[in-house]
Structure 1
Amino acid sequence: MTYTCPSCGETHDSWPALAFRAPDSYVHLSAEEKENIAFLNSDFCVIEYPDQTDRFIRVVMTQKVKDHCSDLEYGVWVSLSEKSFQDYNDNFDNPNHQVQYFGWLSNKLPDYTFKDYIPCLVNTRPDNQRPEIVPRPDFEHPFVEDYYAGITKAEAELRIQMMFNRGQNPN
């Protein structure tokens, strides 16, 4: 599968990561709310509502593809508790900081219906790599089942096409 990247305009032969620019909660804010109650950069997002503060970090997730030599990668966001978010933020530049947090996947993935967000384990990695998430295996959702069983190459390519059609920016 080849694709033309909307960011750089180049044609690539490998699959793009399915990247989300922000958590869904941020995307659904009005322009005024984004300006007044939210902060977003490439690694952190904070939304300060009158009655609560939501905290998110950008992470990666890898989906096994059963009949192909490459797996499908996602660049997604997870929400963390205040304590976990603060610990991650405090150690953001520490290349040796390796811990596990609990978080909630905060993007709705293509080809799935979401009633609730998926609980995940968030594993920080050495050398300041983005944390990697793993969905909790005991959570009943078709994506969790597919995550552990794997998907086909055709399903992976369909998801990539769906992201392009939705106007997301795979990179």
Structure 2
Amino acid sequence: MKYICDCCGKECEDWPALAFSSPLYYDILPKKDKKEIAELSSDFCSIHHADQTDRFVRGVLFQKVNNHCEDLHYGLWVSFSEKSYQDYKDNFDNKEHEGSYFGWLCNDIPDYDFEESIPTSVYTRKGGDRPEIVPHKDFDHPFVRDYYNGVSKEEAENRIKAMLEKTTNKKLWWKFW
């Protein structure tokens, strides 16, 4: 989709949003478990293990791109506590709901090593848009540093290309937001 950018006045083309269709913990389940212990929709996922239930919510993360008018958009999943998950779910259809939640990032983003999950704040947005995910600034990880410092336009385009090439092998998909 081409348009004249309000920021630079040049003709631009939208980048696709880079989105994961499910959290990593769902992706690694055997097929049988996906059918028997998991529930997945476009915005919610729960996995009912014998000793615990894992709960996930889908949100968006806007990656700053330096010297460019457009951000790189990610569709990612975060895990929530039972209380936060229920509150978010209870207010899901309330277009005026404003709230914030603690969550853990639950997708492995290409080009980053995730030995442990990244803590995040998740902010609901009026109008029914998916909540915005913001990594905690004090967590030392290259993805967090890139979030706050930005990435180059070339790096953003390389990420788009790499994720689009992997869509045939992983549960990743893209669309325009």
Give yes or no for TM over 0.5: yes
2:169 counterpart of 1:165: no
Moved beyond 4 Å, runs of 4+: none
Determine the C-alpha separation between the residues in 2 that align with 1:107 and 1:141: 14
What number of residue pairs does the alignment pair up?
A: 160
Alignment of 1:1-40 (within 5 A): 13-40=13-40
Q: Which residue does 1:97 correspond to in 2?
A: 97
Partner of 1:128: 128
C-alpha distance in structure 1 between counterparts of 2:162 and 2:110, whole Å: 6
State the 1:110 CA deviation.
1.5
Q: In structure 2, give the amino acid aligned to 1:40.
A: L
Match of 1:66 in 2: 66
Shift in Å at residue 51 of structure 1?
A: 1.1
**Counterpart of 2:140 in structure 1: which amino acid?**
E
Percent identity reads 56
Paired residue for 1:9? none
Give the Cα–Cα distance (whole angstroms) in 1 for the partners of residues 111 and 150 of structure 2. 14
- TM-score (structure 2 length as normaliser): 0.88
Q: Give the Cα separation in 1 of the matches to 2:71 and 2:122.
A: 19
Q: How does 1:102-117 map to 2 (within 5 A)?
A: 102-117=102-117
Question: For structure 1, which runs of at least 5 residues remain unmatched after alignment?
Answer: 3-12
Could you give the per-residue CA deviations for residues 89-125 of structure 1, whole angstroms, max 9, x where no partner exists?
1111111110110001111111111101110000011
Q: Secondary structure at the match of 1:169?
A: strand
TM-score (ref. length: structure 1): 0.91
Structure-1 separation of matches of 2:16 and 2:108: 18
Secondary structure of 1:113's partner?
coil
Q: Hey, what does 2:41 align to over in structure 1?
A: 41
User: C-alpha distance in 2, partners of 1:169/1:20?
Assistant: 6
Aligned-pair distance for 1:143? 0.5
* Equivalent position of 1:88 in the other structure: 88
What's the counterpart of residue 7 of structure 1? none
Are 1:50 and 2:54 matched, yes or no?
no
Q: RMSD of the TM alignment (CA)? A: 1.1
CA deviation digits over 1:114-160, x for unaligned, max 9?
A: 10111000001111111001000000000000100000011101111
Q: Distance in 1 between matches of 2:174 and 2:152?
A: 19
Deviation of the 1:165 alpha carbon: 1.9
